[in-house]
């Protein structure tokens, strides 16, 4: 099996891991600065969850790039809806099973969701941006 590490997927994987490591360092710093009641014990698992979901979504979006633009848009919308339902399910399940950690988990989840959302959108725009057309 030949793995080409110069593909857009592996480039995205490298950027995602570096981004996640930076967020992890910031979260570790906050762990030592903030009172423990503000940090969810599930935070390390949330990082793994968001990395996996972001990678899976990006993989399926890359598979749609060779098709018509409307197909890419449809893939993006379907993947976004699936991810939102998955996120709601994880939040709901965790909040039911662990009410004591509900507030810190929800805040941690929301913050990570926003960071990973911005990261994903910026990378998608950079990946699929068409080259500027020359006037002339």
Domains of the chain: which residue ranges?
A: 16-34+41-126
* Residue the block writes with tokens 């710093």: 29
Cα separation of 1 and 86, whole Å? 32
For the chain, how big is the Rg over CA atoms in Å?
A: 18
CA neighbours within 13 Å on the CB side: how many for 88? 6
**In the predicted model, is pLDDT for residue 5 greater than 70?**
no
pLDDT tens profile 25-69: 999 888 888 877 778 889 999 999 999 999 999 999 888 877 788
| Overall average pLDDT of the 73-84 stretch | 93
How much of the chain, in percent, has pLDDT values that exceed 90? 52
The pTM of the whole model exceeds 0.75: yes
**In the predicted model, is pLDDT for residue 92 greater than 90?**
yes
CB 83 within 8 A of CB 57: yes
Show contacts of 14-18: CB within 8 Å, 24+ apart: 15/123, 16/51, 16/54, 16/55, 16/119, 17/51
Say what the pLDDT of residue 136 is: 46
Say what the pLDDT of residue 130 is: 57
């Amino acid at each position: 099996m030949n793995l080409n590490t110069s593909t857009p997927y592996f480039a995205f994987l490298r950027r995602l891991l570096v981004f996640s490591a930076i967020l992890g360092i910031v979260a570790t710093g906050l762990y030592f600065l903030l009172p423990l009641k503000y940090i969810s014990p599930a935070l390390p698992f949330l990082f793994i969850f968001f990395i996996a979901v972001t990678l899976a979504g990006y993989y399926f979006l890359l598979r749609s790039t060779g098709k018509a633009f409307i197909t890419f848009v449809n893939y993006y919308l379907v993947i976004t809806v699936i991810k939102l339902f998955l996120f709601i399910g994880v939040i709901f399940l965790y909040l039911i099973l662990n009410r004591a950690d509900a507030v810190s988990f929800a805040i941690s989840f929301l913050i990570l969701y926003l960071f990973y959302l911005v990261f994903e959108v910026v990378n998608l725009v950079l990946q699929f941006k068409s080259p500027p057309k020359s006037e002339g």
